[in-house]
Amino acid sequence: MWDAWAQAGETSNYQSPALARYATGSALTTLVDALKTNSQKQRYFRGRPTLHAAVTELSLQSDPATASIRDCAESGNWRTVDANGRTVSENAGRRKILATVAVTAGVWKVSTFNVQPGGSC
């Protein structure tokens, strides 16, 4: 999901079909809304976060099946720039990300996530 979001963010393409390939529900809404705001402000992503995700809980018997994921993402190589290429936001620091993924139409997708501030892990 993060790679799809970072790629869509290069042009602030909030209509990228790749987003729905990896996210659903409130997670998808959050991604789309953030990119839509960036598009309106003419802001774009450069670089990629470095992820260190691990499954912390797996519930295959639930309907739908779900998993909890914890990450300590490094975002120092990921920044937001304006239309002139000037950095407007540096996402430096390691940040804790907690996510839930669920099986949706036979595919695992991120359904919720929470990103903590830089330095949270």
60-115 pLDDT, tens digit per residue, is: 999 999 999 999 999 888 889 999 999 998 667 899 999 999 999 999 999 999 99
Domain segments of the chain as ranges: 2-115
This prediction has a pTM of: 0.91
Query: Per-residue pLDDT averaged across 48-67, rounded?
Result: 95
Q: Is residue 106 exposed (0-12), middle (13-18) or buried (19+ Cβ within 10 Å)?
A: exposed
Among residues 27, 7, 15, the alpha carbon closest in space to that of 108 is found at 27
CATH number at 2-115? 3.10.450.240
